[in-house]
Structure 1
Amino acid sequence: MSTVNLAQSGFIVRLEQAETLLSRFEWAIRNVLKWVSILALLAIVAFINLNVFFRYVLNNSLSWPGGSSIIMNIWVTYVGGAVAYYVGDHVSVQYVHQKLPPSIARGATLLINGLVVMLGSAMLWFGTQLALSQASSQTVYQVLGITSVSLFWTRIPLAIGGLYLICEAGRRGISTLIDDLNEGSNVALGTVLLLGATAAVIPVLSLAPPESSIVQILIIFFILITLIVINTPIAFAMALSVLIFLLFFPSALAILKPLLVVQQMGQGISGFSILAIPLFIYAGRIMTIGGITKRIIDFANLIVGRLQAGLSHVNVVTSMLFAGISGSAVADTAAVGSILIPSMKDEGYDTGYTCAVTCSSSVIGPIIPPSIIMIIYAITVPSVSVAAIFMAGVVPGILMGLGLIIATYIIGYRTDWEKFPEVEHRDRPSAREAAVIVKDASLALIMPLIIIGGILSGVFTATEAGAVAVLYSIAIGTLVYGEISLDEFIKASYSAATMSGVTLFIIGAAMPITQVMAITGVPGQIGEMLLATTTTSVIMLLLIVAILSILALFIESIANILLWAPVFAPLAIEVGIDPLHFGIVMIMTLAMGMITPPLGVTLFVAAPIGNTDIETIAKNIVTFFLIEAVLLLLVILVPDIALWLPRALGYV
């Protein structure tokens, strides 16, 4: 063996030893953080429900559950969101990465993990600074009735999450480097050297920033989209885009420094309304393990299962019913798809079609209330209430479901129904069986009435409705259906904590970019440019939809709402568009982006369930997408489709 080979073998051995040590450290931290995130999420559920109980049963509202829950939410965000990197819950654009040659893909993977180490280091360093510098300051929130709670506890989760990201991304990076070297490639090693050289040069490099604020924003978005395209998790790419810009142009934003970027990330999720997000996610996970999802599917099957292409219609109707509980397209695809995709394949449905109808119908999730991105829109555009935007989505969501059923008939007619097996061989349920199905499903279908009815009547806020939904799901799944074991409950809680962490991390990471846009005054400049193009409301709306459709190809829907609702909503209002109407159009547009590559998050959820590839699903999704596009155009041209119900209920 040559001297070079001996040296390389010794280097690989040392790397393997380092990976082993880091893996053990990562495992120890992860198992602690797992329980921290689960307990923090359970605390939110307990605190909010306790306040509801005290208010309505004991007629004595408590002052501390809201503040306590907000602090717990910060822990869920940056502890659960960090651990989600190991679990694999973070949303990323995998399409381009999967097409790269193996050695180049390994180099890109190592680059991504190097950048995640950089983000983790910033969170650890600046999070620790913020925690220690504000240790003597008291939070404005009460915790368990204690008023003298240090701000330290609201900042240290950032540092802890950063430490875990360093460990996990470092472990992944070393593992990738070992694999690349064992394959006889030096691409990953070259990436390491490039990262090291860049880290050495940046401290002495002080580039003059572009004078134009729009150019500065364009550079940040170029960095953001580049990171997303190479498969960087979107939550991390959001924060990294500003940090990287500030590293190369440290004098560009005198007001915003790296420490303040991390601080903004913490402050971005400190609102009470944001608590509804982890609660609805949690309710959806409990529904799945508690048998509620299965009973909704059985009910939909009873209604439309024996029509031509019956399971296609069951898929759509189930998504419409499930949308009234989960509020998430990804949750819909995972929960409904895990049951119906295998069932449809077993009955002879084409795999690509099966996954396509599942993904397309999951788009209804964010449109029919309750909806996570509707809550985000209402938070971002204060002139719109949660109740109003919820009601504005009902009719468009129902029309979307009916449109997808029509799409199924179009596909069947064009293919002489070859894609769809006959349904005559399926057993028709007896009257007794049908009654049992209806009885079991009724307990599940009461939940949307509790959520929506409670919000509309003013009994609950959206956050309180989410907490009650979690408690109701646990009660039904445990006491009535008897399908929730302790082990399944822990797994579902852990999954809900990491999924919530991902979503909330995106919200926190978007705040520095929105702050940059506010500092530079770019929203006003964009508005002036668009107003110079047209002042006609319909044309302006179509122009904004076109821009959002392009952005939705690369950027996750929640991030797009946070970044662009503050830019486009005031512009829409200025040309005479109702902000409620604009909100529904924006939400429908971004929801459709969830089924379009390269991001197409629902496609990446459905593909492994159906054991197929993204291209196959995308080819089958075209007709469904076109039908949804026609319905979106109809809502744009006829605002009353969205505004009629909220107007009838007095919200407009």
Structure 2
Amino acid sequence: MWEYVPILVLVLSFIVLLSIGTPVAWSIAVSATLTMLVSIPAMPAFTTVSQRMATGLDSFALLAIPFFVLSGELMNKGGIAHRLIAFAKTLVGALPGGLALINIIAAMLMGAIAGSAMASASAMGSILGPEMEKEGYSKEFGAAVNITSATTGLVIPPSNILIVYSLASGGVSVAALFLAGYVPGILTGLFLMAVAMIWAKKRKYKIGQASSLKQMFRTFVAAFPSLMLLVVVIGGIVSGIFTATEASAIAVLYTLILGFYYKEVNVKDLPKILLDSSATTAIVMLLIGASMSMSWVMSYENIPQDISSALLGISNNKFVILLIINLLLLFVGIFMDMTPAVLIFTPIFLPVVTKLGLDPTHFGIIMILNLCIGLCTPPVGSVLFVGVGVAKTTIEKVVRPLLPLFMAMIVALFLVTYIPELSLWLPKFFGY
């Protein structure tokens, strides 16, 4: 019976701390400390947790995160969103639900370039939201499309959360993860587009005019320098010219030059951009440090091994175990932010799935897709709150149009889960 005490202390203290409004990072750190106090005296427990928080951040790979955050801030301020929206408009503006489709495509591109779902939701919502209302779209439908499509950029690289997974998994190749994210991210976007088209047809929303090839070419040329960031960053990593960390620094330099080239960023803007990116980085790093300490505590108490044994005791069928893990991760995503969830649950579930023959790269994409859905759900759904805030509506009103879009994301998730080649064929093609 005593062996179950640490896990009970960990889970109950974490739930209680979250329920009384304690910030997630502090909830993680405090519950990890309380769990250690069950096994060892107070001073070694405090020392161990604080030490593990510090050593958890001592990783060269994590240096990519502040750089990608900074490049995302520069992209967000640099007028990129307007050019991507104009390009997307020429591609799908004449289809049913054209403005919703524009939102999805532009969000996929913006999310991939900026590496931030919240930046994408904020930019797309503020630009396209009023335009969709003018064309007769309901505010709630526009918000729902914006919220769900913003998360696709977390799967389509470059993505900070894939770097975090690489760290948590013990060194899965970042390049392989980046390549593995393309097809699942695009597939999710296509499913969202299909639902948006059906909804728009049902509601008889206005259809835009078709664009000429000349207009398509003009908007493509305007968006081309922004789109080239993906080629430079991913191409450089895949070809071995530079590492993911070096690529993040190159992304900062590229986006800074681009901001000055577009005349959307000037020297006076830089202090605020640097301050905003520093604040975001500090939050992310605190979460990572706290989560790494909890991961170590769980390993010390043999919690991952116990959970692994319990799951494999239920069944040794890969499909059943993956279904259980998917359901658990969907539940976790409702209550926990993505970064700590990846750091805490990767060491728990990865040994289980690798025993069943699952590729760690494939599992990383499954995990991120799962947790992307959590970003769109209350009470911790950060993208949900940003999307609703930008649209000036309420969560209660957005729920109805969100439900079919949720179903589209879940269908995409299960296809990616049970068809490994959707994630793995591109890394294999490039030799990863």
Normalising by the smaller structure, the TM-score range is over 0.9
User: Does the C-alpha gap of structure 1 residues 540 and 431 become closer, same or farther in structure 2, counting only changes over 3 Å?
Assistant: closer
Is 1:232 the counterpart of 2:22 in the alignment? yes
Mapping 1:481-520, distance limit 5 Å: 481-520=262-301
Q: Deviations over 1:449-500 (max 9, x none)?
A: 111101101111111111111111111111x211112332222221111111
Q: How big is the shift at 1:581?
A: 1.6
Q: Distance in 1 between matches of 2:156 and 2:400?
A: 26
Structure having the higher Rg = 1
Higher helix share: 2
What is the rounded CA distance, in whole Å, between the counterparts of 1:267 and 1:341 in structure 2? 44
> Match of 1:226, as an amino acid?
V
Conserved? CA contact 1:603–1:617, under 8 Å: no
Q: Does 1:253 align with 2:40?
A: yes
Distance apart, 1:433 and its partner CA:
5.3
Residue of structure 1 in register with 2:251 after alignment: 469
CA contact (8 A) 1:225 1:554 kept: no
Q: Give 2:256's aligned amino acid.
A: I
Alignment of 1:316-355 (within 5 A): 316-355=104-143
Contact 1:288 1:294 survives alignment (8 Å): no
Q: Which of 211, 223, 237 is residue 2 of structure 2 equivalent to? A: 211
8 A Cα contact 2:90 2:215, kept in partner: no
Matches for 1:29-48 after TM superposition, within 5 Å: none
Scaled by the length of structure 2, the TM-score of the pair is 0.95
**Alignment correspondent of 2:425:** 644
Q: What is the match of residue 408 of structure 1?
A: 196
> Deviation at 1:435?
4.1
- Supply the AA of the counterpart residue of 1:542: L
Residue identity matched to 1:360:
T
Aligned equivalent of 1:364, options 145, 149, 152: 152
- Distance, in Å, in 2 between the alignment partners of 1:231 and 1:411 is 37
Equivalent position to 2:203, from 407, 417, 420: 417
Indicate if the aligned counterparts of 1:268 and 1:507 stay in contact, CA closer than 8 A: yes
Match of 1:223 in 2: 13
Would you say how many aligned residue pairs link Structure 1 and Structure 2? Answer: 431
Shift of 1:258: 1.6
Identity rate of aligned residues, in percent? 36
Confirm or deny: 8 A CA contact 1:256 1:516 kept in the other structure.
Answer: no
Gaps of 5+ in 2: none
Separation (CA, whole Å) in 1 of partners of 2:266 and 2:380 = 35
Matched, 1:547 2:333: no
Which secondary structure does the structure 2 equivalent of 1:308 belong to? coil
Inter-partner Cα distance in structure 2 for 1:545 and 1:515: 23
Report the CA distance between 1:328 and its aligned residue. Answer: 2.6
2:294 touches 2:344 (CA, 8 Å); kept in 1? Answer: yes
Q: Deviations over 1:62-117 (max 9, x none)?
A: xxxxxxxxxxxxxxxxxxxxxxxxxxxxxxxxxxxxxxxxxxxxxxxxxxxxxxxx
Distance 1:487 1:383 in 2: 40
Match of 2:416 among 625, 629, 635: 635
Task: Pick the aligned partner of 2:103 from 298, 310, 315.
Answer: 315
1:126-275 matches, cutoff 5 A: 211-212=2-3, 214-243=4-33, 245=34, 250-254=37-41, 256-275=44-63
Shift of 1:432: 5.9
1:276 has 2:57 as partner? no
Does the alignment pair 1:285 with 2:68?
Answer: no
Q: Secondary structure at the match of 1:421?
A: coil
Instruction: Note the alpha carbon deviations across 1:359-378, whole angstroms, 9 max, x for none.
Output: 11012111111111111111
Whole-Å separation in 1 of the counterparts to 2:32 and 2:302 = 16
Residue of structure 2 equivalent to 1:143: none
Structure 1 residues 353 and 229, CA, compared in 2 at 3 Å: closer, same or farther? farther
Distance of 2:307 and 2:122 partners within structure 1: 38
Aligned AA (2:426): L
Residues 464, 563 of structure 1: alpha-carbon distance in 2 compared, 3 angstrom cutoff: same
Would the aligned equivalents of 2:181 and 2:423 in 1 still touch at CA under 8 Å? yes
Which residue identity does 1:211 align to in structure 2?
Answer: W
Counterpart-to-counterpart distance in 1, 2:156 and 2:44: 38
CA distance in 2: counterparts of 1:301 and 1:510, whole angstroms: 41
Q: Which amino acid is 2:49 matched to?
A: V
Look up the match of 1:606.
Answer: 387
Cα gap change, 1:348/1:216 in structure 2, threshold over 3 Å: closer, same or farther? same
In 2, Cα distance between the equivalents of 1:218 and 1:409?
47
Report matched runs for 1:407-446 at 5 Å. 407-413=195-201, 416-418=202-204, 420-424=205-209, 434-446=216-228
Alpha carbons 1:596, 1:618 under 8 Å: kept: no
